Chains A and B, each alone.
Chain A
Amino acid sequence: MSERSMARAEGATVQPQLRGVPAVRMEAVYKHYGDFTALNEVDLKVAKGEKIVVCGPSGSGKSTLIRCINHIEKHDEGLIYVNGVELDHQRKNIDAVRRDTGMVFQSFNLFPHMTVLENCTLAPMTANGMSEAGAKDLAMHFLTKVRIPDQAAKFPGQLSGGQQQRVAIARALCMRPKIMLFDEPTSALDPEMVKEVLETMKKLAEEGMTMLCVTHEMGFAREVADRIVFMNEGKVVEQAAPEEFFKHPRSERARTFLDQIIH
């Protein structure tokens, strides 16, 4: 807890907004799937080091929002900048943005035919040209950090869901991203495994990582988030610090949403 408050205090000395280029800037972003509008004029600014939790009812565009940030999903209109690089559908810019961002998926998406260690070393070796020994050291460093170095030689299918998701976090960290995107990282987990993954994410937050996290874990949001972004029907309806959002949601939609998920 003291580490965490220190991290907070450090953040407080420099106003996030004054640190120069924002980590993510979205301006009037639209995304359509046929007739369905998944993102409807979304504006969002995320400062470096900021932790954002995105929540909202299902189908509100939360996942699409963060999947557009690393161009896994292609936005149709509007501007997206990631660390100052415009995501304009050009290969070179997409590549630059993906190098700056790490992503953790709801269904882990580990490579099932590779060991845990190979999952972690593949990208550093092939995309960053690291030596095998260097990549292994790096992988073990992050596997230790997510507290499963002893599983390095196993295949993903031999691990529990919580362990797999922690491997997925380590794998993303091996590319040394500046921004981490989490797409419902605990939604596919058995309840008893949610905590270990959230703890790992908290640790990452304490170290100052910029994070955007789609989650329904309101306890995590309250504790870790600097800001909560509430979405509905493809729009950002409300943005506020957790205290404020939970105590005084401004929109009717946010109020009903909170009533439904907090019992």
Chain B
Amino acid sequence: MSHFSPTAAVSYFFNYFLMKGVLVTIGLTVAAVVGGLILGMGIALLRMSSNPVLAGAARFYIWFFRGTPLLIQLVVIYSGLPQLGIKFSVITCALVGLILNEAAYLAEIVRSGFMAVSAGQREAAWALSLSPWITFRRVTLPQAFRLMIPPLGNSINSLLKATSLASVISVEELMRRSDMLMQEHFQILEVYAAATAYYLILTSVWDAVQRRLEKHFGRSSAAKTRRVAASAPVAQASVEARA
């Protein structure tokens, strides 16, 4: 019975049950990016602080979460923490794990973005008596952000696919629901073809969004040349494989 049914694959693609899984995948990704960016920004600030204790704590955090597999982190949060009396709902476990993990990657991206903004920019802002907040908000942040977009895009692409690991702790996202359909009907290739198509669509849409963002924030030509020069180490830092 070696046979692949395209019509079955198409019908799985339009399967309502699977579509709801896609929505969960999108939701997990968006929440992890937002949470990860907020937490990652804070960790990056600590990492850049002149206080050695704070900088050390941030360094430890990044070392720990980038140095262990996301899968272990999720399983420990879901199955391990209840042993200590700490219990969350399944979806909270997935979100906590994804956010903690993503924050470690994003912190490094944020930090390298800020480091790539030349000291002269800050000096010019000081010389113009801009307040520290305005200097951050209007001078360093927009320039750092532009430098962050390419590695940020890579990281979000990885994250989107990494959400599939949440299936292991029974979050019913796209991967988990594909498994469930597969176990029910045993049409392995058909089900995963539909799931694969969804992942490709999601990553392609994100690619397009990223290109738009890059174009939008790279308007000035000077900025473009600076980005080419500055983004090489940034991109390198983020391409490291995610567990």
Whether a CB of chain A sits under 8 angstroms from the CB of B89 is no
- Min distance, Cβ B206 to any Cβ of chain A, angstroms: 24
Whether a CB of chain A sits under 8 angstroms from the CB of B142 is yes
Residues 54-78 of A, flagged 1 when their CB comes within 8 A of B and 0 if not, give 0000000000000000111000000
Whether a CB of chain A sits under 8 angstroms from the CB of B221 is yes
- Chain B, Cβ-Cβ closest to A105: B120
Q: Is the CB of A123 within 8 A of B128?
A: yes
Q: Is the CB of A126 within 8 A of B127?
A: no
Most chain B Cβ neighbours within 10 Å, of A103, A111, A127: A111
Whether a CB of chain B sits under 8 angstroms from the CB of A175 is yes
Q: Is the CB of A157 within 8 A of B124?
A: no
Q: Is the CB of A113 within 8 A of B130?
A: no
Q: Which residues of B contact A122 (CB under 8 A)?
A: 128, 130, 134, 138
Q: With A123-B130, A127-B134 in contact, is A109–B123 under 8 Å at CB?
A: yes
Q: Is the CB of A102 within 8 A of B127?
A: yes
Whether a CB of chain A sits under 8 angstroms from the CB of B168 is no
- Cα–Cα, bound, A109→B125 (Å): 9
Q: Which of B126, B130, B134 makes the CB contact (< 8 A) with A72?
A: B126
- Cα–Cα, bound, A158→B23 (Å): 44
Q: Is the CB of B129 within 8 A of A123?
A: yes
Whether a CB of chain B sits under 8 angstroms from the CB of A171 is yes
Residues 203-232 of A, flagged 1 when their CB comes within 8 A of B and 0 if not, give 000000000000000000000000000000
Q: Is the CB of A156 within 8 A of B134?
A: no
Q: Which residues of B contact A171 (CB under 8 A)?
A: 128
- Chain B, Cβ-Cβ closest to A154: B220
Whether a CB of chain A sits under 8 angstroms from the CB of B219 is yes
Chain B interface residue count, CB cutoff 8 Å, equals: 26
Q: With A72-B123, A113-B146 in contact, is A98–B129 under 8 Å at CB?
A: yes
Residues 210-240 of B, flagged 1 when their CB comes within 8 A of A and 0 if not, give 0000000101111111100000000000000
Work out how many contacts link A and B, with CB atoms closer than 8 A. 83
Q: Which residues of B contact A172 (CB under 8 A)?
A: 127-128
- Min distance, Cβ A64 to any Cβ of chain B, angstroms: 13
Q: Is the CB of B221 within 8 A of A109?
A: no
Whether a CB of chain A sits under 8 angstroms from the CB of B183 is no
Residues 122-145 of B, flagged 1 when their CB comes within 8 A of A and 0 if not, give 011011111100100011001100
Whether a CB of chain B sits under 8 angstroms from the CB of A202 is no
Whether a CB of chain A sits under 8 angstroms from the CB of B92 is no
- Chain A, Cβ-Cβ closest to B221: A157
- Cα–Cα, bound, A171→B123 (Å): 14
- Cα–Cα, bound, A158→B223 (Å): 10
- Min distance, Cβ A226 to any Cβ of chain B, angstroms: 23
Whether a CB of chain B sits under 8 angstroms from the CB of A112 is yes
Q: Is the CB of B222 within 8 A of A155?
A: yes
Whether a CB of chain B sits under 8 angstroms from the CB of A95 is yes
- Chain B, Cβ-Cβ closest to A95: B129
Whether a CB of chain B sits under 8 angstroms from the CB of A107 is yes
Q: Which residues of A contact B170 (CB under 8 A)?
A: none
Q: Is the CB of A155 within 8 A of B221?
A: yes
- Cα–Cα, bound, A175→B128 (Å): 7
Q: Is the CB of A101 within 8 A of B127?
A: yes
Q: Which of B127, B138, B226 makes the CB contact (< 8 A) with A103?
A: B127
Whether a CB of chain B sits under 8 angstroms from the CB of A99 is yes
Whether a CB of chain A sits under 8 angstroms from the CB of B121 is yes
Closest 5 CB pairs of A and B: A157-B222, A155-B220, A109-B124, A103-B127, A123-B128
> Given A112-B222, A113-B219, A113-B220, 15 other A-B contacts at CB below 8 A?
A72-B126, A109-B121, A110-B124, A113-B143, A113-B217, A114-B220, A126-B138, A127-B128, A127-B129, A127-B130, A155-B223, A157-B220, A157-B225, A158-B220, A172-B128
Q: What are 23 of the A-B contact pairs (CB < 8 Å)?
A: A70-B127, A72-B126, A98-B126, A102-B127, A103-B123, A103-B124, A105-B124, A107-B118, A107-B120, A111-B124, A111-B139, A112-B220, A112-B223, A113-B143, A113-B146, A114-B220, A122-B134, A123-B129, A126-B134, A127-B128, A127-B129, A127-B134, A157-B225
Q: Which residues of B approach A to under 8 Å, CB–CB?
A: 118, 120-121, 123-124, 126-131, 134, 138-139, 142-143, 146, 217, 219-226
